[in-house]
Amino acid sequence: MPTYDYKCSECGYEFEKFQQITASPLRKCPECGKMKLKRLIGTGAGAIFKGSGFYETDYRSESYKAGEKKASEAKSEKKSGKDAAKSEKSPSSESKPQDGKPAETKSA
C-alpha cells in the first residue's frame, strides 16, 4: 500500500497517510477540521527488497566470470591467428601506398 502526502490549504498542516490505492482521498483536515485537505503529488518511494537471494542472483559467481574470460581469450587468439595467416597470403597489401597514388620508382 502506498503512502500519500496531504496538506490542508486552510491551516497548512501537512502529514502522510498509509492508504490503499482504491481508497478515496481524505478531505477533512485532522488538525483544524475543515474540508480543505488536498492530496499532494509525491515522488514515490524506492523499491525495498526483503529476504535473501537478491544479491546472489543478480551478480555472477567468480567461477562463471573466470570461464567467460578464458572463452573470450581463446576467441581473440583464434581471431588474431586468422588475421596473421591472411596477411601472410597477400603480400600485395604491403606494396600498395596508403595515399592511393601509385608508388614512384627510381630509374638508374
Tens-digit pLDDT profile for residues 72-101:
888 888 777 665 555 555 555 455 555 656
**Whole-number pLDDT of residue 3:** 85
What value does the mean pLDDT take over residues 56-64?
Answer: 69
CA dist 13 and 32 (Å) reads 8
Which region holds residue 74: left if phi is over 0, alpha if psi is between -120 and 50, else beta? alpha
What value does the mean pLDDT take over residues 54-69?
Answer: 73
Question: What residue type is assigned to position 34 of the chain?
Answer: K
What value does the mean pLDDT take over residues 48-61?
Answer: 65
Residue 40, SS3 per DSSP: strand
CB 37 within 8 A of CB 28: yes
User: Is the pLDDT assigned to residue 70 strictly greater than 60?
Assistant: yes
- As a whole number, the mean pLDDT across the chain is 76
**Whole-number pLDDT of residue 45:** 66
CA dist 39 and 62 (Å) reads 49
37: buried, middle or exposed (CB in 10 Å: 19+, 13-18, 0-12)?
Answer: buried
- Of residues 69 and 78, the one with the higher pLDDT is 69
Closest to 6 measured CA to CA, from 36, 46, 47 = 36
Q: State the pLDDT confidence band at 7, using cuts at 50, 70 and 90.
A: very high
Reported pTM: 0.40
User: Is the pLDDT assigned to residue 8 strictly greater than 80?
Assistant: yes
Look at the chain and count its residues.
108
